[in-house]
Every structure is written in C-alpha cells, then in structure tokens.
Structure 1
Amino acid sequence: MSLLLPVLVRGINNLSDARYCAGMGADGLIFTLDPSLPGAVDAATVKELAGWVAGVEIIGEFGGTMPVSEINRLVEECSLTRVLLRDSSQPVTAYSALTVPAVLEIPQMAAYDGEYHQQAQKSFTAALPAGFELLTRALDFGPDASTDEGYRIMAGAAATAPLWLSGSFTPETLPALLAAVQPAGLILQGGDEIKPGIRDFDELEALFEALEE
C-alpha cells in the first residue's frame, strides 16, 4: 500500500499494531523506550516485535531527561534508525552527539507563534543538528476547520523547518490539510489490544485509506 506522504505510528506496544501498521504502508513504528514516559516498553519487547515486521523503520521515543549516551546505547541494542525526542528542556545542540537522525517534538503554541517563527527563520533552522526534523500537534479543527487562516499558519510553520504533524486527524479533513500545509509527514497514534491478538483498527484503517495514493 503506497501512501501520499511518510507516516509513522507511535505508541506501538503489541504485535497486532506492529504488523497491521507495517502492512498498511507505515514508514516507521515508534516504541516508547524511556521508562519515565507513559506506556514504555523494554528493549526486549522492541526487538521481539521488530522481528515480525520488515521494510519499516524502528524508532525509539525518549523524554528530555535521558542522557544522550543512554539513548545511543538503546539505538545500538534495538537497531533503531531514528529517535523521537519529547518534553525536552535541553537546547537542541545538546543532542548533536546522537548517532541517528531525530525528530524533536515542540509545543503546539511555540510551533505556531508568529514571533517564534520570525526568529526561527533567522536562526533556529540553522541551529538544528544535521538530520533533525520537528514535530508538533496540528492546530485543532473547530467549526471553521476549512478556513484559509488555519492552514496558512500551519503552512508557515512547515516552511520554517521539516515539520511532522500529530493530532486528531479525520479522513474528512486530511486531504485539505495535506494540500495546504505540505508537512514532512504525519505521526499517528497506536493503541492497546482488547486482548492478546485482538485489536480494533477502525480508526486507523480510515486514516490509512484516506492517505492511500
């Protein structure tokens, strides 16, 4: 299945999700490997689940307090190809010693703040270590979901640096969002099994079908 743009799925913690998302064309599976974050899994689980899928990136998600040396150790142990960094109070340059590319999650308000972007256009992008991209939550669509202003704000943010979007996407709003904003990619949310081997994929299936090329 070929998708309109790169898609990653975060919060992977079971084989059902791993195999389903890989089969639907996701480019990568994100496992929370930082034990301080909700829903964390251990390295053994990541390696076991990764062994059942092929053709997808295996990505680790980490909080802002884990030392880069420990992240790099888990990168090697779990054969990660990229990392997702969240809730970080450290300057972005603190991650320059990472051994793989990274996606840095930034707060929604910072991502779409006008003054922030004026400064970013001058210096922030240049300060990003090589291989870094950004992630933020898409502006929530209310009753005026299709207004040009909302899309213009998000498109301005995406023009500053490679920008991935997460959020409560719907099949109805995705086509206009992608056409107007042109993000680097989308990050969808995985879920828990109802019981081992049983998982409701209705919401994910609708999104993947809306993203089918």
Structure 2
Amino acid sequence: MLQRFLDPKHPSLKVCGVTLGGDAERLAELGVDALGANFWPRSKRYLDPECAGFLGDLAGRILRVGVFVNAGTELPISLFEQGLIDVAQLHGDEPANEIATLQEAGIPVFRSVAVRAEETLAAELSSGPDAILLDAHAPGIYGGTGQTIDWDAAATFISEHPDTPVILAGGITPENAAEALRSTSPAALDTASGSESAPGIKDFTKVEALMRAIRADQD
C-alpha cells in the first residue's frame, strides 16, 4: 500500500486532519489512498490518541499516516504497535536519529519540509526519510494553513531527485489540484483545509472533486 501511494506514475491523494471515525470510513469507501491524523495537541485538527481507536478498523483499506510535531518516538511507536497507524509524518524539528529510530521499529517516515526560496531542499534528504512532504513555511503552525507553496521550487526539487518520493502539500484544493499535478509531478497530493467544511470536518463534495482531479491525471 505504501509503495503504491508513493509511485509517481500513479499520483495519489492524502486527506489530512481527519478527526471523526465516520469521515475516515467514508474516505476508505471512496478509495482515497491515505488519510492523516494529527497528534499535535496545538493543532485545530488534533486527534487525541485515546480517541483514535477507529483508525484500527481501517487497516489494509487506506494508508493511515500519523502526524507528529516534536513528539519524540514513544507515541508514534505506541500507535504503530497498537495497529492504529502505518506511517509517521514528522512536521517539527525532529533530529535525524529519531527518523532512524522509527524506521528501526518498522515505521516508514515522511519528513515535512517547509518550502522557502532561500533554502536548499536537498539538504533534508540526508536524514533518510522514506518520502519528503513539501509544505508552506508557517512558523509555529506546522502545516494546515491553506497557503500555496512555490510550485516552481517544488518542481525543480522533484526533477532533480527522481528517486525521492515527494508529496506536495500547501493549499491544495479541488480548483488547483490538477494544475498542481501538471506543474510538479509529485507522487501524491496532500490536503487538509482544501478538503473540509471546518477544521477536522471533511466536506465530501470537495473530497470527490479532488479524487476526480487525481484520476483525470491518470487517464
């Protein structure tokens, strides 16, 4: 399932910020490739780990990505061992040794990188994540802002690192998803605010439109 999600020949969709079991179930029913559950307590899309049991019912049906911000390794490993997540997505300032520790525990890692014109994105590859997620630079917020990133910078990074799976985030909506795919050729698109009616509440008219954009790119 992870290999399929990260295959740039077949772009995928990840719907992040899921907080409700009913929304998660419907995403799986619609054939969405992946969902993200945010375990950062300061997020407006926070999912308390004690309330995340519904993720266990989705094993094998949708890729379940746990989103963490400077949480250390204990929580991701615990959720993985409970069968609640398949992947850890690190959105903070985690050191490379934490990525290695998670991978040694059998957990694939997505590393979120804020796109800024002055930084060299290639430097982030040295920590060895399984995929890079390119997101907007928003100090103290760590994603979910709805801000679109520099697609030219993303496209350059993707073309220069063809062996690195890249997930494109930052302001992805039904209106711009097709153009985002054409402009950057990522392995997947990631959306939070672009797929909801309120923080943590999914809007399935938007989700279905995003799915159509993804599938049209594969026709």
- TM-score scaled to structure 1, two decimals? 0.73
Structure 1 runs of 4+ aligned residues shifted over 4 Å read none
Q: Where do 1:181-192 residues align within 5 Å?
A: 181-189=184-192, 191=196
How far apart in 2 are the matches of 1:80 and 1:102?
Answer: 11
How far apart in 1 are the matches of 2:124 and 2:19?
Answer: 34
Equivalent residue in structure 2 for 1:27, among 16, 24, 33: 33
When the two chains are superposed, the root-mean-square deviation of aligned CA atoms in Å is 3.0
Equivalent residue in structure 1 for 2:148, among 131, 137, 140: 140
Paired residues of 2:63 and 2:86 also in contact (CA < 8 A):
yes
Residues 94-126 of structure 1, C-alpha deviations (whole Å, 9 max, x = no match): 3210020111111121xx44x514xx2xx643x
Alignment-derived partner of residue 18 in structure 2? 12
Paired residues of 1:36 and 1:63 also in contact (CA < 8 A):
no
Residues 72-100 of structure 1, C-alpha deviations (whole Å, 9 max, x = no match): 12221244210111122x33333210020
Q: Which residue type is aligned with residue 93 of structure 1?
A: N
Alignment-derived partner of residue 69 in structure 1? 74
Q: Which residue type is aligned with residue 209 of structure 1?
A: R
Q: Please state whether the residue corresponding to 2:191 is helix, strand or coil.
A: strand
Q: Which has the larger radius of gyration?
A: 1
Q: CA deviation at 1:70?
A: 3.0
Name the count of aligned residue pairs. 189
Q: CA deviation at 1:168?
A: 2.3
Alignment-derived partner of residue 96 in structure 1? 100
Paired residues of 2:90 and 2:110 also in contact (CA < 8 A):
yes
How far apart in 2 are the matches of 1:57 and 1:84?
Answer: 12
Question: 1:15/1:97 Cα in 2 relative to 1: closer, same or farther (>3 Å)?
Answer: same
Q: CA deviation at 1:62?
A: 0.8
Q: CA deviation at 1:52?
A: 5.7
Alignment-derived partner of residue 140 in structure 2? none
